[in-house]
Amino acid sequence: MSSPEDRIIALIDMDCFFCQVESRDHPELKGQPLVVSQNNVVLAVSYEARALGVTRFIRSEEAKEKCPTVNIVNSPISHGKSDNTKYRMAGQEVIQVLKQHCPTIERASIDEAYLDITKLVDDRLETTLSSSEDLRTSLSNTFVVGYCGPSNDEIQRSQGLQRWLEEVFDDISDDQARRLAIAAVIVEELRREILQKCSFTCSAGISYNKVLAKLACGLHKPNKQTILSSAEVSELFTAVPVNKVRNLGGKIGKTLMENLNCNVMSDLMRFTLQDLLKVFDEKTADWLFNIARGVDNEPVTPRLICKSIAASKNFFGKAAITDLEGLKEWVGELAGDLVERLEQDFEDNNRRATTLTVCYHHLVEKKNVSQSKSCPMGPYNKERIAGIAFDIISRNMQMPIVFISLGTSKFVSVQKSGNFVSYFKKGVHSAKPMENLEIRKEGSQEEAREISKISREGNEEKSVEDRGSLIKLQEIFPDLNDIDHSVLALLPMELQDEAKLYIKNKESPKVNNAKSKMSSGGVRNGGNTIKNFVVKNSSAVEKSSMIRCSECDQMIQGDKFSEHCDFHVAQNLQKSINRSLGREVLGDSLKRNREKSSSPKSNKKTRSIDSYFSKFKNN
Ligand code: TTP
Ligand code: CA
Ligand code: CA
């Protein structure tokens, strides 16, 4: 397989998915005009309702005005917001069916998946002899681009299919066409089985790359499938608007349309690679140049589970968030929802997210302005995540807020050990709820450990002890010679230090031997520092490398990066607490600490956050 046209890729997309899930639960709704609404906005429209003029993204009342007989189902609510669990699980049922037949499946959204069926097709071609007549009977729901009109007209479809099979299958023996025809038979079988086992209809596109399979899938719906061969691409592209193509729905498509005057895909052929390089980065220019010619080499990456997990909500009209109280309430709800789903995902898929992205839209002169910020993801803890989101969003006081999303991504596989699970699930390191947070300073003998600290008054010692007895490095990594660094980065500093020490000892056994506690599996009491909440990318801690801090844009030495991040977390928390509570927490805590340090029993030092910053910001 060397040519970009040698693969066979299918995209399967469920028809009016949320409506099908609802009408499977409520059979009286089957065949009826139906919409599924969330927050009073129509998100899914049955084909019966579409025929009566109902469209997506209108308000439920508007749907009723357009079609008085329409049934409106409101999607389930949890944490004060729509809960898609039911639909996600229904999507997973479909994946289970596909999994029985195809090893290379990429779940692309709640209701669609790409399949690389190249091998299935080649195996079938080797083992089965099919005449064009056999194929015509098997392909009873299949359209062929270039051999049918744009409608779902059955006569045009079957005549076109027959003509195509005769032309390319019997006469010329076009190899790609033969393989696409066999692929279409396989996809007809898969769709039939999905209907039998899950009671859902779906549509499919069959072509030789992901972009074209997706495009083909949308041409004939519902309950149909479409073949797109390379010979038909250039003709089809004269009629395909640029923004209807996968990856071109956003900024890139807009630039093509507005700045380069490309309206349909064939317009893109006017540009050389050099022309495109003047406007786009190398990767994008290259991709555009290729896709204009129907070439897309993106592989189908086997993935049965989503790449990201997010909890989000729109706040339309009067529901817009206008004060910190409202913001606090909603980030709490969203964080609760997110953590529930992450914990379930952890149970199901043995993986943990390492990046948290907080995105929000606020209104400026009635226009939506989007902001987003990513940071490392620590333990799955509702209060902690809510605190981070609150801090990020409240920082600029940009109200009213009309959309918030807390998303997690960059999953790493983890081994499940009892303590590892309980560590993350119980949130031993959970930060305090925002209203109780206090920032104070603590000095220690090791200068590098002098960092800002979130502590729970009175409970701090207990939580450190708890952690010590709960977590032992060896229980997380039974084979200490095979420590997964991405998992290690999720653990408390004490355990990270233990691991580093172990690795160092392994490399030069004479050094530091006395210090190591690995043989006893003990855990040093390092204090419940804010460091514990900061996940470090294992590559980011390379001493020699420099990392740009997204917060202050400074280049930071790798081994100082975590401390630098700690500073920002502490500083931001401090700001948000000061803002939300309207009092000088730092002033109070410093005062308290000063009092404590003056007591003969205390050996704690105090240091202002500014002096902390001046130390780390230029590291
Ligand atoms: P789609 O596949 O875009 O649409 P659909 O399945 O309803 O209809 P079609 O037959 O045209 O494929 O979306 C899948 C489901 O995702 C849809 O049923 C409802 C949900 N959805 C949202 O929750 N929010 C959105 O913005 C969109 C577009 C869909
Ligand atoms: Ca769909
Ligand atoms: Ca879809």
Residues composing the chain: 619
Answer whether 13 contacts ligand 1 (Cβ < 6 A): yes
Q: Containing H/E element for 116?
A: strand 112-116
Choose which residue among 13, 21, 214, 306 to substitute to test ligand 1 binding: the one with the highest number of ligand atoms within 8 A of its C-beta: 13
Ligand 1 neighbour 14 (Cβ under 6 A): yes
pLDDT classification of 101: cutoffs 50, 70, 90:
very high
User: For position 375, what pLDDT does the model report?
Assistant: 92
DSSP class of 303:
B
Is residue 549 very low, low, confident or very high in pLDDT (cuts 50, 70, 90)?
A: low
Least confident segment among 7-11, 124-128, 516-520: 516-520
| Nearest CA among 575, 533, 536, 541 for reference residue 558 | 541
Closest ligand 1 atom number to CA of residue 56: 28
* Token pair 């409970």: residue: 459
Is the separation of the CB atoms in 408 and 338 below 8 Å? yes
Cα–Cα dist 405/389, whole Å: 9
Q: From 14, 94, 217, 223, give the residue whose CB has the most ligand 1 atoms within 8 Å, as the site to mutate.
A: 14
pLDDT in tens, 474-529: 655 656 666 666 566 666 666 677 777 777 666 654 333 333 333 333 222 332 22
More confident residue, 56 or 477: 56
Contact 361, 401 (CB under 8 A): yes
Distances (CA, A) of 374 to 74, 345, 407, 410: 32, 20, 9, 11
Report, in angstroms and rounded to the nearest whole number, the Rg of the chain calculated over CA atoms. 29
**Angstrom distance (rounded) from CA 24 to CA 20:** 6
Tokens of 569: 């977390």
Closest-approaching ligand to the CA atom of 16 = 1
pLDDT of residue 77: 86
Catalytic residue among 112, 383, 438, 563: 112
CA distance 406 to 353: 12
Whole-structure pTM value: 0.62
* 310 Cβ inside 6 Å of ligand 1: no
Strand order of the sheet with strand 367-376?
309-314, 401-413, 351-364, 367-376
Sequence-distant (6+) residues with CB within 8 A of 158 are 136
Residue that wins the pLDDT comparison between 589 and 503? 503
**In whole angstroms, what is the distance from residue 505 CA to residue 514 CA?**
10
For 150-182, write each residue's pLDDT tens digit: 999 999 999 999 999 988 877 667 889 999 999
- 139 has a pLDDT exceeding 60: yes
* pLDDT, tens digit, 9 for 90 and up, residues 249-303: 988 999 999 999 999 999 999 999 999 999 999 999 999 999 999 999 999 998 7
Pick 537 or 575 by higher pLDDT: 575
Which of the residue ranges 125-129, 231-235, 599-603 would you say has the lowest mean pLDDT? 599-603
| Least confident range of 177-186, 310-319, 523-532 | 523-532
The distance of Cα 447 from the centroid of its chain, to the nearest Å, equals 38
Do 10 and 187 form a contact (C-beta atoms < 8 A)? yes
Longest dimension (CA), the chain: 98
Instruction: Read off the DSSP letter of residue 400.
Output: S
**For tokens 């460091």, what's the residue?**
531
In the numeric block, the tokens 């193509």 are attached to: 245
**Distance of CA 609 from the midpoint of ligand 1 (Å):** 49
Q: What is the rounded CA–CA span in Å between residue 394 and residue 380?
A: 22
Predicted confidence (pLDDT) per residue in 405-454, tens digit: 999 998 888 755 444 444 444 443 333 333 322 222 222 222 222 222 22
d(CA 607, CA 594): 10
457 part of the active site: no
* DSSP structure string for 507-537: HSTTTTGGG--GGGT------S-GGGG----
Residue-wise pLDDT for 363-372, tens only, equals 988 888 888 8
For atom 26 of ligand 1, the residue with the nearest CA is 43
User: What is the SS3 assignment for 358?
Assistant: strand
Q: Write the pLDDT tens digit of every residue in 238-264.
A: 999 999 999 999 889 999 999 999 999
pLDDT of residue 407: 95
Measured in Å, residue 168 CA sits from the centre of ligand 3 at 31
